[in-house]
Amino acid sequence: MKNYFSIKDIDALETWIDEAIALKKEPLANKMLGVDKTIGLLFFNPSLRTRLSTQKAAINLGMNVIVMNFTGEGWSLEYNDGVIMDQGNSEHVKEAAQVISQYCDVLAIRAFAQLKNKEDDYSEQVLQSFIKYATIPVINMESAAGHPLQALTDAITITEHTSVKKPKVVLSWAPHPKALPQAVANSFVEIMQIMDVDLVITHPEGFELADEITKETPIDHNQERAFENADFIYVKNWSSYSEYGKVGNDESWKITSAKMKKTNNAKLMHCLPVRRNVVLDDAVLDSKNAIVIEQANNRTYAAQLVLQKILESR
Ligand code: CP
């Protein structure tokens, strides 16, 4: 595998999940694989889980880790070609990506959607520019339109917690005071579509994800009806795709204990961070059905599996 940019880079999901669960049992099984190799982690946005779990994954494989926060520390980068660079940007990604490629063996990048222009965001200019100019593999640590490390984690977590042959998985929109990207929801839908689950998406009208993402997946605008018989509730806010970047904070969509009672004793998932008593009630997040902490733990094994596959193919 050259790059891990999207769910499409997973060639055999069931095998990958089995391998990740095996890694979780023996995380140091391949502790020599990455010796004398360096991963560079570039952050254009904040992170807790992605940063620490990817570092932990690299350490489990014996790698060295270099981290750079571009907001505040790095030169502001230009991505367009042929630009007269007499404004704010100090360095072109063409040089930056080639230079970093000399210091590192693998590069991982986080660059969120700006939520101003849909076409710009969905062109994935930052990640695609680094993929174009870097001479080393690139891993997506959440780009404008996708979060494939999170989605792989979610697939692992659902597999571990499934007690029925084909679980009903509900992706539920929930309110949030700020405009959030569609990235997590996009990748979650894409990975669930290739798993043996019964996926339903529920959100208020006007918060449809891109048709290219949802395809034939059922969408129910009645949240309580969607929750009926669900085995997993995956909670996530996203801003509007059609009215690009519009905030959605309808409190009636908050996840409550009463709504969870409609389910088949469903497990509650969220990628974190989550705002308590805005997105969901304390009682929901503190219930025994919430598996968000174990879900976050699985970030390490998803990242480790991806890194291992990249190292093995070099
Ligand atoms: N879920 C996730 O990506 O968390 P962070 O933003 O903290 O990395």
| Domain at 262, CATH number | 3.40.50.1370
Contact 189/166 with Cβ under 8 angstroms? Answer: no
| Same domain membership, residue 161 and residue 104 | no
Question: Does 103 fall in a domain?
Answer: yes
Strand 232-236 to strand 168-173: parallel, antiparallel, or no bridges (unpaired)? parallel
Mutate to test the pocket of ligand 1, among 67, 299, 300 (most ligand atoms within 8 A of CB): 299
Provide the residue count of the chain: 314
Residue nearest to atom 3 of ligand 1 (CA): 50
Query: What pLDDT was estimated at residue 71?
Result: 86
The structure tokens 């995956």 sit at 234
| Tens-digit pLDDT profile for residues 160-199 | 999 999 999 999 999 999 999 999 999 999 999 999 999 9
> Which residue has tokens 């795709």?
241
What is the extent of the structural domain holding 139? 7-145+299-312
Same domain, 183 and 130: no
Per-residue pLDDT reduced to its tens digit, 79-124: 999 999 999 999 999 999 999 999 999 999 999 999 999 999 999 9
Calpha distance 1→140 (Å, rounded): 13
Nearest-CA residue for atom 1 of ligand 1: 271
Per-residue pLDDT, 281: 98
pLDDT tens sequence across 250-271: 999 999 999 999 999 999 999 9
> Mean pLDDT lowest for which of 36-45, 65-74, 284-293?
65-74
- Whether residues 136 and 164 fall in one domain: no
Return mean pLDDT, the chain. 97
Q: In this structure, are 291 and 155 located in the same domain?
A: yes
- Please determine, for residue 314, whether its predicted confidence score (pLDDT) is greater than 90: no
Q: Which atom from ligand 1 is nearest to the alpha carbon of 271? A: 1
* Contact present, 173 and 39 (Cβ < 8 Å): no
Residue 248 lies in a domain: yes
User: 60 to each of 26, 113, 205, 308, how far by Cα in Å?
Assistant: 10, 30, 44, 10
Kindly state if the Cβ of 249 falls inside 6 Å of ligand 1. no
What CA–CA distance (Å, rounded) separates 314 from 212?
Answer: 32
**Within 13 Å of residue 28, how many CA atoms lie on the same side as its CB?**
0
Q: DSSP H helical segments within 26-117, as ranges?
A: 49-60, 93-103
Beta bridge partners of 268: 233, 290
The distance from CA 294 to its chain's CA centroid, rounded to whole angstroms, is 16
User: Please, are residues 137 and 314 in contact by the beta-carbon 8 Å criterion?
Assistant: yes
0.95 exceeded by the pTM? yes
Q: What is the pLDDT of residues 7-55, one digit of tens each?
A: 999 999 999 999 999 999 999 999 999 999 999 999 999 999 999 999 9
Q: Are residues 284 and 304 in the same domain?
A: no
Asked whether residue 26 falls in the same domain as residue 108, the answer is: yes
Q: Is 259 in the pocket of ligand 1 (CB under 6 A)?
A: no
In the chain, the number of structural domains is 2
Residues 102 and 168 in one domain: no
Is residue 96 within 8 Å of 40, Cβ to Cβ? no
Are residues 141 and 250 located together in one domain of the fold?
A: no
pLDDT of res. 20: 98
Nearest CA, atom 4, ligand 1: 49
On whether both 184 and 118 belong to a single domain, the answer is no
To test the pocket of ligand 1, the residue of 41, 44, 47, 157 to mutate (highest count of ligand atoms within 8 Å of its CB) is 47
Determine the distance separating the centroid of ligand 1 and the alpha carbon of 86, expressed in angstroms: 35
Q: What is the DSSP letter of 290?
A: B
Phi, psi (degrees; rounded to nearest 5) at 267: -75, 145
Task: Please report which confidence band the pLDDT of residue 288 belongs to, taking 50, 70 and 90 as the band edges.
Answer: very high
Q: Is residue 18 part of a domain?
A: yes
294, 259 contact by CB (below 8 A)? no
pLDDT at 210 over 90: yes
Is 72's pLDDT higher than 90?
no
Nearest protein Cα to ligand 1, atom 6: 47
